[in-house]
Structure 1
Amino acid sequence: MKVLVVAVFAVFAHAQQFKCPPKDGFYEDSNQCDKFYECYDGIATPKLCPDGLVFNPAIKKINKCDQPFSVECGDRIELQPAQPTELCPRRNGFFAHPDPKVCNLYYICVEGISTKQPCPPGLHFEEETGTCVWAKASGREGCDASETMVLKDGFRCPKEGQVDSNGQLVVHPKYPHPNDCQRFYVCLNGIEPRDLGCTTGEVYNDETQKCDAPENVTGCEDWYKDDQVPSKPPSNKKQ
């Protein structure tokens, strides 16, 4: 509490030194990226963005607080004291998983409430940009690759890859789903799994590696039999 009081005192003390430009509006502080001034009739009122956000003068809306990765703070490196919660280093923002080995998960924090988000398979969360990027581009070390290369149902791309009829390695190999005739997997670049599916009425044909009619795929001939609309019963009305 004492730290917060000191910070608030410092904000108002610095406001006395800030001189408003002739035009009313919102202006950044020269030292602190999450601090700004509302100028009206030459009077400066100091403001602080919510913890975790910083002032963005480029925003045309009244609310000019934005994510740090969207703002170039330059030399304005000072920030208000953090108000962390269990999984949020600051009350607002996009943050990496606290376990450095888990690179494919991150948290979106809004007023101290966290929501866990997964990156697509093969991607890692990059805190500097607040986005998921290719694992190599993230520069994160010590990550558990198995966390990023496995789907929710446990499928992962086979290490041995897949070759075509000419003995050439298939760049994006496909694999049938073990229990679902309509679904199949694609391994982008042989390592990044995707769970895809055929349109209703078709099943995946592993021989042609395309979606096909059920009668052309052994074991999947009756895949849609339970979905058929029952025929209209004959009318008992006398002609």
Structure 2
Amino acid sequence: MKTYTLAVIAVLAVGIDAQGFKCPAKDGLYEDPRQCDKYYECVEGEAVAKLCPDGLVFDPLIRKRNKCDQPFNVDCGDRTELQAPQPKGPCPRRNGFFAHEDPTVCNKFYNCIEGDYTEITCTNGLHFDEYSGTCVWPDSAGRQGCKQTGNILKDGFQCPKETQKDANGNLVVHPKYAHPTDCQRFYVCLNGIEPRDLGCQVGEVYNEETQRCDAPENVAGCEDWYKDDPAVASKPAKKA
């Protein structure tokens, strides 16, 4: 999130500041030259100074009546000052999207609306980025000291750091890996980070070459996987 200089502003001071602002010929809403969350409403040449709700800033380019928006959507330029924050609970300001108060928890954030908040968890493998107000890939967020959350399965499997590419050289978003001892099972790494333990339907085994479930006779080393299961063995063989 952009860095701003805090300006402690009393209601009286806002009224006084409005006296020094010269309204343009056209009625409307106009930004303060120094403070990004302050603006003026001009009616017949008279200016009334106003503030956006704490956490939001004024965007003169928005065509709608309410021109206060999230900071990551607005280019404040030289308007670096802000009103004093009004924190409440985990919300450093009354409105906005904010990182979890624990800097090691990178996959959660707060959506604050007038001090009331909702804790939101990013999609598996993503981190919250305050500069964009969204969940992004960890390397894009660039956050340090983040805890790994649920990235190791009970059997010890962890998604490899090396990326996986398909036959055309394209990055595989959700790569799959064969189980080392169970032909029927395999792993999927969501977004390359979050592991899931999955399995083929009975009668099939995982084919690492095609990355699909297949007939046992088509997978080297797994041809006899169901030989001791009479119900499966009696079924017609699946063609490759």
Normalising by structure 2, what TM-score? 0.68
Distance of aligned partners of 1:153 and 1:130 in 2 relative to their CA distance in 1, 3 Å threshold = farther
Distance of aligned partners of 1:30 and 1:161 in 2 relative to their CA distance in 1, 3 Å threshold = closer
Residues 157-193 of structure 1: per-residue CA shift (max 9 Å, x gap): 3449899xxxxxx9622468xxxx9x973454xx423
Residue 134 of structure 1 corresponds to: 137
| Percent sequence identity over aligned pairs | 48
Q: CA deviation at 1:206?
A: 2.3
Residue 212 of structure 2 corresponds to: 210
Superposed, which structure 2 residues align to 1:89-100 within 5 Å? 89-100=92-103
Distance of aligned partners of 1:66 and 1:194 in 2 relative to their CA distance in 1, 3 Å threshold = farther
Amino acid at match of 1:110: I
- State the distance in 2 between where 1:51 and 1:68 align: 11
2:200 equivalent to 1:193:
no
2:59 equivalent to 1:56:
yes
- State the distance in 2 between where 1:99 and 1:26 align: 39
Count of aligned positions:
200
Residue 27 of structure 2 corresponds to: 24
Q: CA deviation at 1:109?
A: 0.5
Residues 197-224 of structure 1: per-residue CA shift (max 9 Å, x gap): 99xx9998524643679xxxx89xx9xx
Q: CA deviation at 1:138?
A: 1.6
Amino acid at match of 1:193: E
Residue 90 of structure 2 corresponds to: 87
- State the distance in 1 between where 2:163 and 2:42 align: 66
Normalising by structure 1, what TM-score? 0.68
Distance of aligned partners of 1:119 and 1:65 in 2 relative to their CA distance in 1, 3 Å threshold = same
- State the distance in 2 between where 1:128 and 1:116 align: 18
Q: CA deviation at 1:194?
A: 6.4
Distance of aligned partners of 1:162 and 1:70 in 2 relative to their CA distance in 1, 3 Å threshold = closer
- State the distance in 2 between where 1:110 and 1:57 align: 22
* Unmatched runs of 5 consecutive residues or more in structure 1: 164-169, 223-239
Structure scoring higher RCO (CA < 8 A, sep ≥ 6) equals 2
Question: Which residue, 93, 102, 105 being the options, matches 1:102?
Answer: 105
- State the distance in 2 between where 1:203 and 1:39 align: 75
Residue 117 of structure 1 corresponds to: 120
Instruction: Determine helix, strand or coil for the equivalent of 2:89.
Output: coil
- State the distance in 2 between where 1:56 and 1:162 align: 41
* Unmatched runs of 5 consecutive residues or more in structure 2: 1-6, 165-170, 216-224, 232-240
Amino acid at match of 2:206: D
Verify the 8 A CA contact 2:127 2:138 in the aligned structure 1.
yes
Q: CA deviation at 1:49?
A: 0.6
- State the distance in 1 between where 2:8 and 2:49 align: 15
What RMSD in Å do the two structures reach over aligned CA positions? 3.9
